[in-house]
């Protein structure tokens, strides 16, 4: 039976947890109008109780231990904002669900790794596990897939899922600056963490994509079949070359099904500079879904930050307040399926390849011979000499071919002693 009052525990009081606490306290009346339920923040927990958060929390709300939030008999709903796939976050969510508490989390790492198991526990105990805030912050992409597009057969979901990497690539392009300068600027503005490695190496996007893949194709989460590449190797020269060729460089997450096999991939892409997604800049995120019968659906907005994340968290909380017990991944555990996954090596791409080489006789001939032997043909070739005239940069746009063939070209040329630095490969995405 739906309750008239819900007791909430918030675990984790960083920027997001602090903002959520204040928002819920200030907007109790408005939330009740929309859900017909009173909310009460019964307990809070954080590593540092003494930290100056700019607002007061009554002493009687503090947990002695974060696990008290999961075991307290009066708590109805636990909001996990600790972060990370292991340790306290994992212990808290598993314990809360096993104690028949509803859980709301923004933890993409946890859901992407343990989502299947957690969903099974939630289903068994007839409680909710909601994670809208785990993917693209304020974008309602999870609810769009679970409810808004429930009638659709989805063939592809893709987009820009990380604001930090998108800001860096956008800044490099707009301001003609190198990777390091763009990264430092992102840190200064608070768009990048002191350790932004998960944003830059593609892991953050990969976690989100695995969740979206599961929801899109009614499958279990698959972590073993996914290609993940980051943006560390993108430099000013690549940005300039892309522009001159009519492209922009974006870090995309792509999941698509063909011949009953799903391919999951995260990597930088060259995309047409006049396309919609090429013009998603700064810290914005955008998700595009191809489905039948709806066609193409686009969800765009702020992907991170306390305000955007709180928007998603409150959406999940409100859904629970309305008394809806739902399967976390739309279908029950028994109805979800094990699907076949395909490797990126079997995909067909055009590719941008850049070889910085010693400018001497026979180099270009050797490169083109290696390409021919590996069934990669040249669509466009540009050779730019360095200022020293001892070196040159060879840029090749290939015709479409298997990704495996392109990878073989890169591997074989990587062994050549005429290379100044390792070859560059950026796939061209037709969207």
Q: What whole-number distance in Å separates Cα of residue 351 and Cα of residue 343?
A: 17
Length of the chain counted residue by residue:
431
Half-sphere exposure of 274 (CA within 13 A, CB side): 2
Q: What whole-number distance in Å separates Cα of residue 339 and Cα of residue 266?
A: 19
Integer-rounded Cα radius of gyration of the chain? 24
Between the CA of residue 249 and those of 159, 198, 231, 283, 401, what are the distances in Å? 13, 19, 10, 15, 20
Q: What whole-number distance in Å separates Cα of residue 386 and Cα of residue 35?
A: 65
Q: DSSP assignment of 326-350, as one string? A: --TTSS-TTTSB--EE--GGGSEEE
- Nearest residue to 112 via CA among 237, 242, 253, 277: 253
Decide: helix, strand or coil at residue 18: helix
Q: DSSP assignment of 298-310, as one string? A: EEEEE-SSHHHHH
Per the structure block, which two tokens stand in for 121? 């526990």
- Nearest residue to 169 via CA among 229, 228, 238: 238
Q: What whole-number distance in Å separates Cα of residue 147 and Cα of residue 121?
A: 22
Decide: helix, strand or coil at residue 367: helix
Contact 383, 365 (CB under 8 A): no
Contact 245, 379 (CB under 8 A): no
Identify the active-site residue in 90, 101, 113, 208. 208
389 is catalytic: no
Q: What whole-number distance in Å separates Cα of residue 89 and Cα of residue 47?
A: 12
- Ranges assigned E (strand) in 144-198: 153-160
Q: DSSP assignment of 73-104, as one string? A: TT--EEEE---SSSHHHHHHHHHHHHTT-EEE
- Token pair 């808004």 in the structure block, residue: 148
Q: What whole-number distance in Å separates Cα of residue 167 and Cα of residue 188?
A: 12
Residue 33: partners with Cβ closer than 8 Å, 6 or more residues away: none
Q: Which residues are catalytic?
A: 208
């Amino acid at each position: 039976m739906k309750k008239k009052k819900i007791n909430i525990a918030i675990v984790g009081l960083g920027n997001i947890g602090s903002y959520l606490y204040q928002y819920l306290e200030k907007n109790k009346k408005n939330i009740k109008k929309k859900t017909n339920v009173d909310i009460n923040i019964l307990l809070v927990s954080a590593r540092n109780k003494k930290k100056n958060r700019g607002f007061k929390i009554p002493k009687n709300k503090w947990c002695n231990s974060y696990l008290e939030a999961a075991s307290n008999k009066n708590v109805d709903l636990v909001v996990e904002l600790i972060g990370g796939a292991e340790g306290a976050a994992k212990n808290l969510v598993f314990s809360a669900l096993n104690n028949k508490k509803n859980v709301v989390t923004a933890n993409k790492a946890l859901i992407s790794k343990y989502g299947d198991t957690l969903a099974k526990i939630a289903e068994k105990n007839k409680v909710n596990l909601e994670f809208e805030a785990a993917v693209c912050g304020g974008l309602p992409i999870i609810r769009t897939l679970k409810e808004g597009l429930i009638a659709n057969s989805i063939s592809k979901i893709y987009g820009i899922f990380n604001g930090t990497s998108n800001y860096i690539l956008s800044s490099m392009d707009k301001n003609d600056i190198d990777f390091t300068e763009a990264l430092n600027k992102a840190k200064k503005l608070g768009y990048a963490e002191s350790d932004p490695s998960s944003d830059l190496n593609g892991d953050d996007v990969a976690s989100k994509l695995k969740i979206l893949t599961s929801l899109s194709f009614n499958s279990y989460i698959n972590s073993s079949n996914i290609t993940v590449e980051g943006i560390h190797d993108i430099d000013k020269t690549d940005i300039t070359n892309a522009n001159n060729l009519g492209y922009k460089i974006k870090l995309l997450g792509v999941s698509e099904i063909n011949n009953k096999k799903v391919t999951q991939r995260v990597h930088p892409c060259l995309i047409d500079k006049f396309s919609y997604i090429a013009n998603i800049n700064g810290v914005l995120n955008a998700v595009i879904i191809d489905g039948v019968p709806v066609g193409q659906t686009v969800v765009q907005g702020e992907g991170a930050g306390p305000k955007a994340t709180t928007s998603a968290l409150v959406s999940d909380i409100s859904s629970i307040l309305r008394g809806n017990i739902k399967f976390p991944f739309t279908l029950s555990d028994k109805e979800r399926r094990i699907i076949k996954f395909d490797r990126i090596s079997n995909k067909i791409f055009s590719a941008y390849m850049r070889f910085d080489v010693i400018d001497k006789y026979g180099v270009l001939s050797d490169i083109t011979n290696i390409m021919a032997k590996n069934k990669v043909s040249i669509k466009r070739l540009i050779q730019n000499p360095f200022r020293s005239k001892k070196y040159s940069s060879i840029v090749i746009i290939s015709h479409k071919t298997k990704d495996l063939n392109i990878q073989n070209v890169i591997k074989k040329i990587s062994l050549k002693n005429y290379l100044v630095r390792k070859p560059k490969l950026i796939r061209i995405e037709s969207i």
